[in-house]
Amino acid sequence: SRLEETIKKTITENPVVVYSKTWCSYSSEVKSLFRKLGLEPFVIELDEMGAQGPQVQKLLERLTGQHTVPNVFIDTVKLHHKGELEPLLSEAVAK
d(C-alpha 59, C-alpha 66), whole Å? 10
Which member of 11, 24, 43, 63 binds ligand GSH (CB under 6 A)? 24
Q: Which stretch binds ligand GSH (CB under 6 A): 5-13, 20-28, 34-42, 77-85?
A: 20-28
* 59 and 3 Cβ atoms separated by less than 8 Å: yes
Q: How far is the CB of 23 from ligand GSH (least distance, A)?
A: 4
The beta strands (E) that lie in 10-88 are given as: 16-20, 42-45, 71-74
Q: Fill in the amino acid letter for 58.
A: K
Residue 8 CA: distances (Å) to CA of 2, 5, 14: 10, 5, 10
Q: Which C-beta is closer to a second copy: that of 15 or that of 70?
A: 70
24 binds ligand FES (CB under 6 A): yes
Residue nearest to ligand GSH (CB): 68
79 sits near ligand GSH (criterion: CB under 6 A):
no
